[in-house]
Amino acid sequence: MRGRLTGVVVSSGAGLLLGGQLVIAGGRIDLFDLHSNRTGYILVDPKSGRLDTYDTKSKRTGWGTIHRESGTVEVFDKEGKRIGSGLLPPRVQR
């Protein structure tokens, strides 16, 4: 179970950093491991700046915050212990 949680956290971080534009847009982001197995998903609410992480059985595994102005993301486990942080990629002007 601990290994699966670590995989979800790593996948969450990668999804947040690589899919930063999706995070800001909001909605659901599905997470996959290196073998294309679904490991969970993230729900993002851009209005509140909050995200929630879930495993494959829709059990909540953690939460996080997104600070749009600074581009920082912080992720916590369900007990509130900080398990990661990162920066969103810069916004592309179109």
What are the φ/ψ torsions at residue 80 (nearest 5 degrees)? 95, 5
Instruction: List all residues 6 or more positions away from 9 whose beta carbon is below 8 Å from its beta carbon.
Output: 53, 62, 75, 77, 83, 84
**AA letter at 89:** P
In a domain, 92, yes or no: no
Place of tokens 């179970």: 1
pLDDT score at 77: 94
Q: What is the dihedral of CA 9, 12, 18, 21, to 10 degrees?
A: -150
Q: Is residue 10 part of a domain?
A: yes
Whether residue 76 lies inside any domain: the answer is yes
Structural domain of 22? 2-87
Reading the block at residue 92, the tokens are: 């592309």
Residue 55 lies in a domain: yes
pTM: 0.66
Q: Report the C-alpha gap between 41 and 43 in whole angstroms.
A: 7
Instruction: For residue 75, give the nearest of 12, 1, 5 by alpha carbon.
Output: 12
Please give the tally of structural domains in the chain.
1
What is the mean pLDDT of each successive set of 10 residues along the chain, which is 94 residues long?
Answer: 48 48 66 94 90 95 90 92 88 66
